[in-house]
């Protein structure tokens, strides 16, 4: 319902929606904080829901079962382990919550010795999308990464995410492949790289 109202506010009607109304669309109760290992079970649940709604795609032959089976590798234990070791991994994990419920997650990589700066994951629970959660998570991660060339990968058919990242200055930067896109069947989720250049 909230999603529908947002899109109506943005696209319907001959008169542009005044900016004052637009800000009302951001849920005021979103809290961004560092994720901790105790969040791992909720993070695994969000990954399961968002992956299985985002990545199955008939045209590219990516099945629900294949995506779902791929997720078996993201157990709460492996996620908790990565959060515990985030500093050694040059990573940072953030969570978004509303009323103490975890509704989004973002992870970034800042590997200064190899000059690699990436957004590794950004997932918002479906029922909380289009309320400004992704914007807050990504802005937090970009602040942490600083003024660098920042890269990320996105499925070629994930047009919502591609457009979302473009609003932050990312541009499409050709095909890419990451191990995370390899599915148990041998199929691969086709990805493009997106790059946000540092400003000089």
The residues that touch ligand COA, with contacts defined as CB under 6 A, are 22-23, 25-26, 50, 54, 122-124, 129-135, 154, 158, 160-161, 163-164, 167
Shortest distance (Å) from residue 200 CB to ligand COA = 26
Q: Which of 63, 78, 179 is nearest to 120 (CA)?
A: 179
Nearer to ligand COA, 80 or 104 (CB): 104
Whole-angstrom CA distances from 6 to 31, 45, 95 are: 20, 26, 23
Nearer to ligand COA, 68 or 135 (CB): 135
Please identify the residue of the shown chain whose CB is closest to the bound ligand COA.
Answer: 134
| Side-by-side strand order, sheet with 31-34 | 31-34, 91-98, 101-111, 116-124, 150-155, 191-196, 171-176
Shortest distance (Å) from residue 148 CB to ligand COA = 19
Shortest distance (Å) from residue 92 CB to ligand COA = 17
Shortest distance (Å) from residue 13 CB to ligand COA = 14
Nearer to ligand COA, 112 or 180 (CB): 180
Which residues, listed in sequence order, are joined to residue 102 by a DSSP beta bridge? 97
Nearer to ligand COA, 87 or 174 (CB): 174
Per the listing, tokens 């250049």 go with 197
Residues in the chain: 200
The overall longest dimension of the chain from CA atoms, in Å, is 53
């Amino acid at each position: 319902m909230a999603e529908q109202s947002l899109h109506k506010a943005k696209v319907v009607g001959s008169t542009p929606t005044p900016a004052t109304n637009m800000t009302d669309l951001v849920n005021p109760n979103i809290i961004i904080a560092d994720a901790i290992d105790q969040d791992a079970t909720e993070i695994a649940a969000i990954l399961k829901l968002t992956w299985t709604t985002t990545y199955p795609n008939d045209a590219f032959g990516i099945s629900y079962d294949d995506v779902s089976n791929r997720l078996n590798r993201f157990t709460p234990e492996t996620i908790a382990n990565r959060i515990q070791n985030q500093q050694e991994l040059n990573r940072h994990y953030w969570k978004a919550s509303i009323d103490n419920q975890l509704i989004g997650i973002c992870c970034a990589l800042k590997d200064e010795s190899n000059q690699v700066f990436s957004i590794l994951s950004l997932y918002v629970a479906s029922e909380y999308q289009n309320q400004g959660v992704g914007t807050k998570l990504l802005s937090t991660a970009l602040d942490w990464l600083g003024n660098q060339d920042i890269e990320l990968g996105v499925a070629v058919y994930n047009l919502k995410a591609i457009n979302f990242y473009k609003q932050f200055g990312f541009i499409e930067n050709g095909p890419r492949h990451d191990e995370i896109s390899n599915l148990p069947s041998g199929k691969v989720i086709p990805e493009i790289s997106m790059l946000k250049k540092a400003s000089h």
